[in-house]
Structure 1
Amino acid sequence: MTAHGELARVMLTSRQIDVRVQQLGAEITRDYRDRDLVIIGVLKGAAAFTVDLARAVDLPVVMDWAAVSTYGRGSTAGEPQLLKDIGEELTGRDVLVVEDILDTGTTLSWLMARLRGQDPASVNCCVLLRKPHAVAELVEPRYVGFDITEHWVAGYGIDYAERHRNLRDIYEVRLPSAVKSASSS
């Protein structure tokens, strides 16, 4: 148990995250050299990861932000809704969408399809965390930070009930037993 109550244990330390972000940055630098790269971070969960990743990319990149929600005021996912659109023109440019967690893939699939409609040269994605057994939509990220289990997580920009985004490590969330059994069905 941690001092943060609902957080059970550290799943990924800040050091592990830093090392992997540097590796991803080197891969992206190699793959997008001499290209016009626009990095689009998905708010709010991917904000910390997007900034750190962009700093690890040794290229002149443009950054922009999108906010998409599938939850509204409840805890059950619905249809994606665009809360904040990007401002950059994407025609003929390479786009890399940066997301915190790939779970069902619904939000990321919807956002990438929307961006493809703006006639970019390419649209790929980079996810910090991937839950391989939960992916329902056809989303194949070009870059993956870590594969994790089905646990709910918080920290490093990722929230649990809007809390814990400020933590440097990523923690497993200790769910109340009623929520845990509903989320595993």
Structure 2
Amino acid sequence: MHKDIKEILYTEEEIKAKCDELAKQIDQDYAGQEILLVGLLKGSVPFMAELAKHLKSDVKFDFMSVSSYSGVESKTLVVRQDIKEDIRGKNVLIVEDILDTGKTLYNVKEMLEKRHAKSVKIVTLLDKEEGRVFDMKADYSGFKIPNAFVVGYGLDFNERYRQLPYIGILKEDCYKK
């Protein structure tokens, strides 16, 4: 375990098993239809890669990089990198590492729905319900987590810890300096 981690919440094995479980549910819901996986950079990359390995459905990949203006109540989204794919009439599955306040996912989903996709759904590895500000729910959710600062498996603090093969709680003294 990394020296800055207080506690491991989910091991690599538990994450892989959860990805398999989510993939089965997604495959059942999309039965024979193509899905465009839209990963939100950078955090979703490890989760999206693992989830895709377990999917039997026909999938394509695309990515977005977005950020929100400061202020929890803000609904303003800055798109730093947009998807390349024309999504008109397609099934879009937004892939996110964590659903926290809901602000980013609320805005991304709304934006993609305006592009006339057949469907726009959300899959998240982690769901932190205590942090929710926007009325937002994932269609597919991996793990419910406590209101703690988590890192690993794509989640970072100042671009660090993304490479950890597990999800852990970061020690307070690492982010409250």
TM over 0.5: yes
Structure 1, residues 122-169: CA drift from partner, whole Å, max 9, x if none? 101001001112111121111000000000111111111111111101
**Counterpart position of 2:29:** 31
Q: Which deviates more from structure 2 when the two are superposed, residues 168-177 or residues 14-23? A: 168-177
The residue type paired with residue 45 of structure 2 is: A
**Counterpart position of 1:66:** 64
Sequence identity (%): 32
| Structure 1 segment 3-82 matched on structure 2, within 5 A | 4-70=2-68, 79-82=76-79
The residue type paired with residue 90 of structure 2 is: R
Q: Is the 8 A contact 2:127 2:145 kept in 1?
A: yes
**Counterpart position of 1:98:** 95
Return 5+ residue gaps in structure 1 as ranges: 181-185
**Counterpart position of 2:142:** 145
Whole-Å separation in 1 of the counterparts to 2:140 and 2:52: 14
The residue matched to 2:157 in structure 1 has which SS? coil
Whole-Å separation in 1 of the counterparts to 2:97 and 2:14: 16
**Is residue 161 from structure 1 mapped to residue 158 from structure 2 by the alignment?**
yes
Taking structure 2 as the reference length, what is the TM-score of the superposition?
0.92
The residue type paired with residue 18 of structure 1 is: K
Return 5+ residue gaps in structure 2 as ranges: none
Change in CA separation of 1:161 and 1:59 when aligned onto 2, cut-off 3 Å: same
- How far apart are residue 71 of structure 1 and its match? 6.5
**Counterpart position of 1:83:** 80
Whole-Å separation in 1 of the counterparts to 2:60 and 2:155: 23
**Counterpart position of 2:167:** 170
- How far apart are residue 178 of structure 1 and its match? 8.3
Whole-Å separation in 2 of the counterparts to 1:17 and 1:49: 9
Q: Is the 8 A contact 2:34 2:57 kept in 1?
A: no
How many equivalent residue pairs?
Answer: 175
Taking structure 1 as the reference length, what is the TM-score of the superposition?
0.88
Structure 1, residues 59-101: CA drift from partner, whole Å, max 9, x if none? 11111001112368xxx76643111100011111111001011
The residue type paired with residue 32 of structure 1 is: Y
Q: Which runs of 4+ in 1 moved over 4 A?
A: none
Counterpart among 99, 107, 110 of residue 110 in structure 1: 107
Whole-Å separation in 2 of the counterparts to 1:5 and 1:71: 32
The residue matched to 1:137 in structure 2 has which SS? coil
